[in-house]
Amino acid sequence: MKGSADAYPFRTLPVPSRFSIAIGLVALVFLIDQSAGDLIDDGSHLLLLGTAVGATAWFAGTGPALLATVLGAVLGATHGDGRDTGAVALHLALFLVQGLILTGVVDELRRARRSAEARARDANVARHEGEVANRTKDEFLATISHELRTPLNAVLGWVHLLRSGRLDGPTAVRGLEAIDRNVRLQAQLTADLLDVSKALTGKLRLNSRPAALEDAVRQALSSAMPAAKAKGVQLVLTHTEPAVVHGDPTRLVQIAWQLIANAIKFTPRGGTIEVATQAVKDEAVLRVQDSGQGIDPAFLPRVFERFTQADSSATRKAGGLGVGLALVRELVELHGGEIEARNRPDRNGAVFTVKLPLQVAEMVLRCEEIVDGDAARAEGTPLEGLRVLVFEEDTEGRELMRTLLQHGGADVQTASTVGDALTSLESWRPDVLVSDSLSSEHDSYALIGKVLSLEAHRGGRIPAAALTTAARTDERLRHLLANVQRELPKPVEPALLTSEIARLAGRERRRAQR
């Protein structure tokens, strides 16, 4: 049985021992009184009792001190020996007051001491947490710097070599592949950071519809193939079954890609990564299994935490920001599913398993309709004869968009200001408007709203696409984007951009028939 919190300084002293201290000190006073005889008068007797009460309050606590006060008063009443009862009563009353005051004072001193100790502990914890947070921030910034500079170094190096004109054909092809791979890697790192920011603020959203999980996996495998090839890792789709879920197709691809990319990172050259999808009862299951070193059992419970890595030292073999698997968990949970990680029984690799709610047959049919519709729209998407107005403030961005769309067969005009864009809109009558990011003078998204509010003979009702940085998630931007028929996050694939522009123009022509 442990003492209560007020038993300062002996907090762990058992209660019987504390009360024994009270009884023993009071008894000691009366033994001294009996042995000293006439040397101790009533005043000295009460002073000794008060000292006993104070010592009890300090060493044993408030409860034992109150017991010592009561015992001292009772024994003091029997100590009168026929003396003046009025004086004895006065002395006892003073003793009781003294005992209560001493007990209260000592209790307040203990309370102040405990409060000071608690504040000191809180300050130490806060200081420690602040030091850990600063160290984590510094490590994370160093990691970001490393992870962003590494692809840039490869890009700049290969660009320099390509410009020199001294590379043979195969080497130049390898250089272009390296540039493409590293640019995509940097774009993915940036997208991951933005998604983590959205997840931390609760603004990560899904655009859900019936989606085939196996299609998402095939797209992810196709995207990850260059990285796997560069590292000498084999990607194998071992098993696939039709499995339709109600989810965001883009996010499903992201889930699969992140798991495959993570497996590539930790699989040695010559290793194999096996990917499988199947329908098990009422669940759609995605399984990614690698042949790497597996996950440290001590780190396994933290593998899905943000900004954590099994090896975060500067000499680690595997790169990354420590956010990919955390994003996967966020996205899986937003889809109503669950994810687990474990090591293979032979400890030669890790296995990640995603389980998502399987949809009913009607949803499967709906998914097939959507896929068929997408395939139909994807057929024949040249921009030949289309008029495209591009609003972009940045000079290099305008030139890139102009060249890209002209190579697709489009007739392109560009504008660097909102006023120029509105003038071209009324005089040139484009088929599609492409607006990029935010201008310094106006919201370019507000420009789209103005366009849609114009009459048809002034260029209204023109379909619009917005190229966004996806960094703004406030309600104001969400309201502005409500006027956009298609939002494409940067960097955008050229093939996707031309396909979406053709789709927008075709849809508008069928609707307006002009």
Buried b vs exposed e over 243-277: b needs ≥16 C-beta within 10 Å? bbbbbbbebbbbbbbbbbbbbbbbbeeebbbbbbb
How confident is the model over 301-329, as pLDDT tens digits? 888 887 777 665 554 555 566 788 988 99
Find the mean pLDDT for residues 282-286: 91
Assigned token pair, 361: 């047959």
**Cβ(389)–Cβ(432) below 8 Å:** yes
Q: Rounded distance, CA 98 to CA 102, Å?
A: 6
Whole-prediction pTM: 0.58
How confident is the model over 457-512, as pLDDT tens digits? 565 667 888 777 654 444 444 444 444 556 777 777 787 788 888 888 774 444 44
- The CA distances from residue 125 to 264, 315, 488, in Å, are 39, 30, 45
Q: Rounded distance, CA 400 to CA 409, Å?
A: 14
Find the mean pLDDT for residues 32-60: 70
Closest Cα to residue 326, out of 278, 274, 272, 254? 254
Span of 175-184, 266-275, 357-366, 374-383 with lowest mean pLDDT: 374-383
Q: Rounded distance, CA 13 to CA 38, Å?
A: 37
How much of the chain is helix, strand and coil, in % rounded to 5? 60, 15, 30
What's residue 171's pLDDT? Answer: 93
Q: Rounded distance, CA 22 to CA 52, Å?
A: 8
Q: Rounded distance, CA 99 to CA 393, Å?
A: 84
How confident is the model over 205-250, as pLDDT tens digits? 888 888 889 999 999 999 899 889 988 999 999 888 888 898 988 8
Confidence of residue 161 (pLDDT cuts 50, 70, 90): very high
Find the mean pLDDT for residues 423-440: 77
Give me the count of residues in the chain.
514
Mean pLDDT of the chain: 77
**Cβ(418)–Cβ(435) below 8 Å:** no
